[in-house]
Every structure is written in C-alpha cells, then in structure tokens.
Amino acid sequence: MEEPVNDNEPSGGFVFIIIGKAYVEGDDEGIDIHVMLQAPDDDTAVREALNALSEEGFAEADLDQIGTIMGEPDEEPHASAYQGALEGEVAIIRFD
C-alpha cells in the first residue's frame, strides 16, 4: 500500500534557510552564517546543517532562526545557494 501524498509538500522536501552564528575552535567572535538545504522537515534540516558545519571545521553553532524559502531568491549569494539546495547540496553562506 502506498503512502498518501500531501499536495502541499514538495516531493523532495522543503528548501530551508537556517540563520545563526558558527564558531571555530578557540574563536569567541564567530561568523554569521545562513545555511540553505532541502529536507523533509525542520529536525532533519537542523541535523544536516550541523553536520555540514562540522565538516567545514566549525566546532559549534548557535542556530537562531529556521524557515522555508517559498520562491527562488533574486540576489546572490542566496540565489545560487537556493539552486544548490535544490540539487541536494547543503549551502553555507558566510558573512565574514
């Protein structure tokens, strides 16, 4: 038996944006970040974002906001990050 399909949910999941600050070991200042990725729910999005930040060398992160992107952004760097998220990437935008 197949699972029912909810027409409100995209088949590949939602594109999430997570806003926060990431820290490398010994850094008290941190770097402002936006993480964009596609996931089926917000718990999965947070888990995947934290894994990607860890792979990029960040020791910890304070994630302040999470939301879904309802349409393709017009301006860079968010437009290319959105496209990367649609292709299955976890895009990390750093504001140094």
- Residue 4: which pLDDT band, with cuts at 50, 70 and 90? very low
- Residue 11: which pLDDT band, with cuts at 50, 70 and 90? low
Prediction pTM value:
0.85
The pLDDT of residue 10 is above 80? no
Quote the CA–CA distance of 16 and 68 in Å, as a whole number. Answer: 4
| Mean pLDDT over the full length of the chain | 90
The pLDDT of residue 22 is above 50? yes
Region of residue 4 (phi > 0: left; psi between -120 and 50: alpha; otherwise: beta): beta
Kindly list the domain boundaries of the chain, sorted by start residue: 18-95
Q: What is the mean pLDDT of residues 62-82?
A: 95
Residue 48: what residue type?
Answer: E
